[in-house]
């Protein structure tokens, strides 16, 4: 299955790239070939922090005008990127907190809290008394405490208490426990200002603190509050690829990150009035489609199909069938406006934080989101008759999505025994070698998703269960890896597990901010027992094969700071400094149990990760896979039947 999808998926991308060339439109894929990366900046050796420079340090001994060394410059550049990534995730979270507050105060009558149980759980985790409080009262209290997380002064972030005790102690011992989210981001900018912190290790410590404020702060808040507001994902079937765009319907593509815009449009697009107007305009209906992480959010919660990943944003417009593309924040290419101009497509921005020249701006605020969503849908319907020639690749690939932390617990233990114990047991008895999170973006410099496809294929072949998020998940969904049928590419034991539980070998956990689900899952794996007393003792790892975003650097750093070995593909933004490379690898491993390395060779990434899982297993005394008999579901049923018969005879 996966093999067949792979070929088709590539071929129709190429078809549209050809179309772009004929129309004289450039895409990120063509621009990535034309623009070579700066050979000095690519390894972090360029400093532009002040106007005595920019200073480009080409040799190991060189210094900037201020005397800054290569170690200082690369660590400062890295820390600044982490701060930018943390700020992006956390500002996204802040917008959701304001949405929750607006709902709690009754300011958005059309939006209701979907997961009251999760609201109560978060409230209890935070020590809020839940008895005798209404849902809206609790929502207000949770929102207010969530807002405080951005500016905490003498307290640690609330969600740090989810981490295993040993991890919390490690952060305390190393003075890494983050304070308020905004505090850490602002302090990173100050420390890395020209003439401030000049010691690489100290600068990197601040990068760790800031990343932790993202993972256990901003990203976790964004995940939990989105679940409370819009529902905690459950397994669902959906589809992906450009073929989900429909020739005879009004196509609205939602792109970006904040789920509010997409949720509001989804809600109003189903109103009868709009369905009727769409019919009057000659369309059979209204088709909502996601791109990038907005796609992940609405795929996970509603099974809304996705046209693809980060690399597909320009290609969707090139089909000529997108009546309107609506964007909010992050990962939105400025080139979209130029591509849209060649077609009838309306490009709509919705956030004051992301204005694009040439786009129509319809600003969404929590209080008026449904009204603004109606304006967007109306505009899309109006635009439908203006379509010219369309060219929609016919291929679409089915997928299974919705593996929230809660759903994985339910899937493995049912409603009353929900836990990750079964996952731990499979690792303990050697059926599974471990768990690897494959995260992050697509990078057009890598070619058509070679990295994501290769690492996932190799991991499942080696009986490693894969959790995927972000655009990587959308990529491998296109290759059929998010389907139970992909078990045919898995190692024999993982295949049997997938067959008996009824899951794909690659589980889709959601968007970029949903990487915080990994922290919750890894913490629970420790608590559920048998795999040591810290995240750093688990046979787990993270791979970010095709990173491009500062957010990816923040994610990788918070996973490392939480005790995980993380490998990034593509290239190293700190490669200019051997000292910084060493500090982030062996140095962090000694200090915090996790480490971050950059390795452009995908075969080596897999070798290193498998070796790491083996070492972790050995340290736990688990050894290699046990020689045991594995049964598929039919054989298990037969055994159960015989056991019951025997009981009856005794
Ligand atoms: Fe150059 Fe120092 Fe200014 Fe950086 S901070 S640009 S190294 S003078
Ligand atoms: S959208 S940050 S390309 S995963 Fe979250 Fe995709 Fe990376 Fe953007």
Residue nearest to atom 7 of ligand 2 (CA): 441
- Ligand 2 centroid to Cα of residue 360, in Å, is 23
402-633 and 63-230 share a CATH fold: no
Helix ranges, 414-508 (H): 421-428, 450-461, 470-478, 492-501
Q: What CATH number belongs to 236-386?
A: 3.40.50.2030
Output the DSSP codes for 251-303: EEEEESS-HHHHHHHHHHHTSHHHHHHHHHTT-S-EEEEEEHHHHHHHHHHH-
pLDDT tens-digit map of 262-309? 999 999 999 999 999 999 999 999 999 999 999 999 999 999 999 999
* pLDDT score of 632: 57
Q: Which ligand minimizes its atom distance to the CA of 56?
A: 1
Predicted pLDDT of residue 638:
58
CA of 198 to the centre of ligand 1 (A): 12
Q: Characterize 329-357 residue by residue with b for buried, 16 or more Cβ atoms within 10 angstroms of its Cβ, and e for exposed.
A: bbbbbebbbbbbeebbbbbbbbbeeeebe
Q: Which CATH class is domain 402-633?
A: alpha beta
Cut 0.75: pTM above it: yes
What integer pLDDT is reported at residue 36 of this predicted model? 93
The segments of the chain whose pLDDT lies below 70 read: 1-12, 60-61, 624-650
Token reading at 562: 């939480």
Distance 39 CA to ligand 1 centre (A): 18
* In the chain, domain spans: 63-230, 236-386, 402-633
Tell me the best of 299, 445, 470, 511 to mutate to test the pocket of ligand 2, counting ligand atoms within 8 Å of each CB and taking the most: 470
Please give the CATH number for the structural domain made up of 63-230: 1.20.1270.30
Q: How far apart are CA 146 and CA 187, in angstroms?
A: 20
What pLDDT shows up at residue 625? 57
């Amino acid at each position: 299955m996966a093999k067949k999808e792979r070929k088709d998926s590539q071929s129709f991308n190429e078809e549209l790239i050809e179309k772009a060339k004929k129309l004289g439109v450039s895409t990120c894929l063509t621009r990535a070939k034309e623009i070579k990366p700066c050979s000095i900046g690519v390894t972090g050796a360029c400093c532009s922090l002040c106007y005595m420079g920019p200073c480009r340090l080409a040799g190991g001994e060189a210094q900037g005008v201020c005397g800054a060394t290569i170690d200082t410059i690369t660590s400062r550049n890295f820390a600044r990127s982490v701060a930018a990534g943390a700020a992006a995730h956390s500002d996204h979270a802040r917008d959701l907190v304001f949405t929750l507050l607006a709902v709690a105060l009754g300011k958005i009558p059309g939006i209701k809290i979907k997961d009251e149980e999760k609201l109560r759980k978060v409230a209890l985790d935070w020590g809020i008394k839940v008895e005798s409080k209404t849902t809206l009262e609790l929502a207000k209290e949770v929102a207010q405490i969530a807002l405080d997380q951005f500016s905490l002064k003498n307290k640690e972030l609330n969600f740090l208490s989810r981490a295993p005790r040993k991890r919390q102690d490690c952060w305390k011992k190393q003075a890494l426990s983050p304070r308020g989210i905004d505090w850490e981001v602002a302090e990173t900018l100050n420390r890395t200002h020209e003439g401030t912190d000049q010691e690489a290790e100290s600068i990197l410590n601040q990068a760790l603190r800031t990343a932790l404020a993202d993972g256990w702060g901003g990203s976790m808040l964004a995940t939990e509050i989105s679940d409370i507001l819009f529902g905690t994902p459950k397994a669902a079937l959906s589809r992906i690829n450009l073929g989900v765009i429909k020739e005879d319907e009004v196509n609205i593509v939602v792109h970006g990150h904040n789920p509010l815009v997409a949720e509001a449009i989804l809600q109003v697009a189903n109103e009868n009035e709009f369905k009727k107007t769409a019919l009057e305009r000659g369309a059979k209906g209204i088709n909502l489609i996601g791109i990038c992480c907005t796609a992940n959010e609405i795929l996970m919660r509603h099974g809304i199909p996705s046209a693809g990943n980060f690399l597909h944003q320009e290609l969707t417009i090139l089909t000529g069938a997108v009546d309107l593309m609506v964007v909010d924040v992050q990962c939105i290419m400025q080139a979209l406006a130029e591509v849209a101009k060649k077609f009838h497509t309306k490009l709509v921005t919705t956030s004051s934080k992301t204005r694009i020249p040439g786009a129509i701006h319809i600003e969404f605020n929590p209080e008026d989101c449904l009204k603004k969503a109606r304006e967007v849908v109306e505009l899309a319907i109006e635009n439908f008759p203006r379509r010219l020639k369309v060219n929609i690749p016919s291929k679409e690939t089915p997928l299974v999505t919705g593996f929230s932390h809660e759903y994985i617990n339910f899937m493995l233990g049912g409603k009353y025994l929900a836990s990750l114990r079964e996952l731990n047991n499979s690792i303990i008895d050697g059926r599974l070698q471990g768990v690897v999170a494959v995260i992050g973006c697509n990078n057009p410099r890598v070619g058509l998703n070679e990295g994501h496809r290769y690492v996932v294929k190799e991991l499942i072949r080696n009986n490693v269960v894969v959790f995927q998020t972000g655009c990587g998940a959308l990529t491998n969904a296109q290759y059929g890896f998010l389907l139970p049928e992909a078990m045919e590419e898995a190692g024999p034991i993982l295949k049997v597990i997938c067959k008996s539980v009824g899951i794909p070998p690659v589980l889709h956990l959601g968007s970029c901010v949903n990487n915080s689900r990994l922290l919750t899952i890894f913490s629970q794996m420790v608590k559920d027992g048998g795999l040591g007393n810290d995240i750093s003792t688990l046979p787990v790892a993270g791979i970010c094969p095709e990173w491009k975003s500062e957010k990816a650097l923040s994610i990788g750093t918070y996973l490392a700071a939480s005790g995980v070995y993380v490998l990034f593909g593509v290239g190293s933004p700190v490669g200019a400094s051997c000292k910084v490379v060493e500090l982030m690898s062996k140095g962090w491993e000694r200090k915090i149990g996790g480490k971050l390395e950059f390795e452009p060779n995908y075969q080596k990434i897999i070798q290193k990760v498998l070796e790491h899982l083996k070492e972790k297993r050995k340290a736990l005394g688990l050894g290699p896979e046990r020689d045991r008999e594995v049964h598929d579901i039919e054989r298990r049923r037969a055994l159960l039947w015989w056991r019951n018969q025997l009981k009856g005879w005794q």
